Amino acid sequence: MGSIAERLAAVLDRIGRACERSGRAPHSVTLVAVTKQRSVAEIQEVLSAGAVNIGENYVQEALAKHAELGRGPVWHFIGHLQRNKARDAVRLSDWIHSVDSLRLADELSRRAVEQGKRQRVLVEVNVSGEATKSGVAPDQLAALLEGMRSLEGLTVEGLMTMAPWVDDAEQVRPVFAETRRLAERCAAAGLLPQGAHLSMGMSSDFEVAVEEGATLVRVGTAIFGPREAAS
Ligand SMILES: *Cc1c(COP(=O)(O)O)cnc(C)c1O
């Protein structure tokens, strides 16, 4: 299996090769090491191996880790976010990947203004249409972005998506390609910046996501090994 440092290097290498295959600059992709359920010691290990960006899913867990690690790493909040956790999420996070409603966006905006901060956010889109996945439906995306335009304190950086779990990552290529097309359409309509960020790809499918334009990939298991089953 190797050490965390070795697996991190292997993932970065695979990202680099996926960039090469698709004619992209290797530095156009940022690796977010997903650290949910990982100990502070494991996070320190990945940071000393050179990782800079870490992703957490749960506000309580992130708060505890943040108290120990501070502002050193770049913090990405990637989990489903409830409005009553918005204040802490804004306090903790450099990026929030999981905005999926105007009510949540509004609360994040209020908290960002209160904290005198500009919060970078991504809008999560449920491109695969799976009922179990969060995210705004593609046909509601433009309306949500339109509604978010007037919100202070937020910088809308792009889109995030989660593909369904499949054995063969090629099967989810259309999900990533569609997310990119949605971002391009929204950018053309002035609802997203040109060259908007795309947060897509996890351990099982990040190379395909990079080939389809991901700028942020969220990888846990391939770096840290399998997570404990939730008890
Ligand atoms: C857990 C998680 C990941 C990382 O998944 P791995 O399969 O461990 O790479 C990425 N994105 C989100 C939103 C997650 O919850």
Quickly tell me which residue has 């334009």 as its tokens. Answer: 213
- pLDDT for residue 230: 57
- Ligand 1 atom, smallest distance to 98 CA: 13
* CA distance linking residue 3 with residue 46, whole number of Å: 10
Q: 122, 83 in Cβ contact below 8 A?
A: no
Could you tell me the residue range of the domain that residue 40 belongs to?
4-224
Question: Is the whole model's pTM more than 0.85, yes or no?
Answer: yes
- Ligand 1 atom, smallest distance to 78 CA: 13
- pLDDT for residue 1: 64
Is position 231 within any domain? no
**94: domain CATH number?**
3.20.20.10
Is position 35 within any domain? yes
10-residue mean pLDDT profile of the chain (231 residues): values are 93 98 96 97 98 98 96 96 98 98 98 98 95 92 98 98 94 98 98 97 98 98 87 46
Ligand 1 near 221 CB (within 6 A):
yes
- pLDDT for residue 39: 97
Token code pair at residue 154: 């937020």
Q: Which amino acid, one-letter code, is at 21?
A: R
Is position 100 within any domain? yes
- pLDDT for residue 131: 83
Is position 187 within any domain? yes
Ligand 1 centroid from CA 97, angstroms: 12
- Ligand 1 atom, smallest distance to 221 CA: 8
Ligand 1 centroid from CA 201, angstroms: 8
- pLDDT for residue 90: 98
- pLDDT for residue 172: 97
Ligand 1 near 135 CB (within 6 A):
no
Is position 230 within any domain? no
In a 10 Å sphere around its CB, with 0-12 CB exposed, 13-18 middle and 19+ buried, how is residue 50 labelled? exposed
Q: 145, 151 in Cβ contact below 8 A?
A: no
Is position 56 within any domain? yes
Q: Say how many domains are in the chain.
A: 1
